[in-house]
Structure 1
Amino acid sequence: MSEENKITISPQVQLVETAAQKSFLEQRVLMLSQLLHDKAEEVLALQRDVNERNEGNAELARRVEELTARLQAAEANAAEFERQLYLARNQTPSTAETETPEAI
């Protein structure tokens, strides 16, 4: 290439170009910073939702345990009632006359 075809960029043009690139990059950083901030807020909101659901699940688990205990107690009471009913129906007449209802 001859000297005539070379393009020279003056230091002022280079400075303007560098300033423009810097400005673009600063705007990009600000935009990404805001996006990161927004995503962090979304994550916090989701974490709150998860915590609330976990608390709800824990409450449901406690209620299930309570209901299970009550069901087991009811089953035990029903079994005892059936046993007493069976004994009452199958006792001999002489035993029925001597025993009181409280004993059955």
Structure 2
Amino acid sequence: MGAAGAAQLPASLMDKDNPGQEYWCQGNDINTSMCSLTGVSDDHKFALIQDLPGPACEDLSFGVIDLVRQTGVNIPYDGGDCKGDVQAGFLRGTKDNALYVKIVRGSKTLRLYKVQTGY
């Protein structure tokens, strides 16, 4: 996991879902109380971030940062039970070689999110 810290997030990130608005996790927020870096894709074009769990529900929110276009997008998922055991990571599709984010709780896959690499 140590390699993830090597990636530099752009200081200013825009929200892909809300054009013109800043994303909730900015590059300067990484490793502060706002959000942390979970991983970087194998092509170093995307970063996976997570927020810090709140006291009411320990499930994390995840987002994908497009390091090239400097945007962020949230990945919604269902199936967490607020115990803080939800994890996420990048993987490549075996058939299409596309980049996915897999969100899991234990052995159960909650969401397989295909990263939008072209706009």
Structure with larger RCO (C-alpha < 8 A, sep 6+): 2
The structure richer in helix per residue is: 1
TM-score (norm 1): 0.16
Instruction: Please tell me whether Structure 1 or Structure 2 has the larger radius of gyration of its CA atoms.
Output: 1
| Higher normalized strand content (fraction of residues) | 2
Tell me the TM-score normalized by structure 2. Answer: 0.14
